[in-house]
Amino acid sequence: MSGSNPVLDDLIGLLKLERLEVNLFRGQSRDIGSKQVYGGQVLGQALSAAAYTVEERTIHSLHAYFLRRGDMHAPIIYEVDRQRDGRSFSNRRVVAIQHGRPILNLAASFQVAEEGLIHAQRAPEVPRPEELPEPADSIAGIDKLPAKMRRFLLEFRPFDFRWVEPPQYENPQPAEPRRHLWFRTAGKLPDDPDLHRSLMAYASDYGLLTTALLPHAMSLLSENLQLASLDHAIWFHRPFRMDEWLLYCYDSPTAVNARGLSRGQLFDHGGTLVASVTQEGLMRVWPEGSS
């Protein structure tokens, strides 16, 4: 546990699932102000479930599909299928289940550590987190968000955020689909690499889909807008700590057919690329006056 932030301690506990059987786990949910279970929570818990069934190998990628909205008032069951344990790689399939139906499918691949060719893109030049204001002082229209979401972002939060280009929830203007966010946990964490990776999966869903809204002058407060994550993928490249500043670089190369594609790169404080993320989401705009 962090020992200093009860909200962060609660999140750590949320990612540590109850084992029901050898390959069966149960997790709970928290209401952070969205209409359904936060997608990053299900990702983080599903990754935790997969990691519980693998020894001496490290996750290098996961690919997930969101199938249904999660009910935050009911537990989530995670069923792990140990699909393969080879000499170098292990593959797991995880199904998250609520009310007898799957809400998420996740495939994860783990690898034995080995030497190989190395290169990496460096982080872009942006202001350092110490130079940037708190969200309360930088985000336009944050007071219009649902009360629980405001509390998650401003008060009872497990993460510290510093936006380079703050979201504009109220009266957004068209902008390039590109932005940058510094974040870290709001407290020190134990030296548990699996926990740090599950926390990254949790945080990787934050702000990703809405990057595709920037050219269209829309935000979470826009009327007649339906947003939903459809799939999510993460590649873990190098070790990192979630209690040290990470730079999340977002961009959205395209939106078409009511779907938007967003990408993310995560760099440590020294500028080294530690993870890559992609997500496609539903971005459906209803005609004016429709219910």
The Cα–Cα gap between 51 and 70 comes to: 22
Task: Describe the strand order of the beta sheet including 24-27 as a list of residue ranges.
Answer: 18-21, 24-27, 76-85, 89-98, 101-111, 58-66, 225-236, 273-285, 259-268, 246-256, 178-185, 159-163
Concatenated DSSP letters for 94-128?
EEEEETTEEEEEEEEEEE---------PBPP----
| Active-site residue (options: 45, 229, 252, 265) | 229
Active site residue 168: no
Active site residue 90: no
User: How many of the other CB atoms lie within 10 Å of CB of 169?
Assistant: 18
Coil, strand or helix at 171: coil
Q: Which helix (H) or strand (E) holds 6?
A: helix 6-15
| Active-site residue (options: 45, 252, 265, 279) | 279
| Active-site residue (options: 2, 45, 48, 205) | 205
Active site residue 279: yes
CB burial of residue 45 (10 Å; 0-12, 13-18, 19+)? buried
**Catalytic sites, residue numbers:** 205, 229, 279
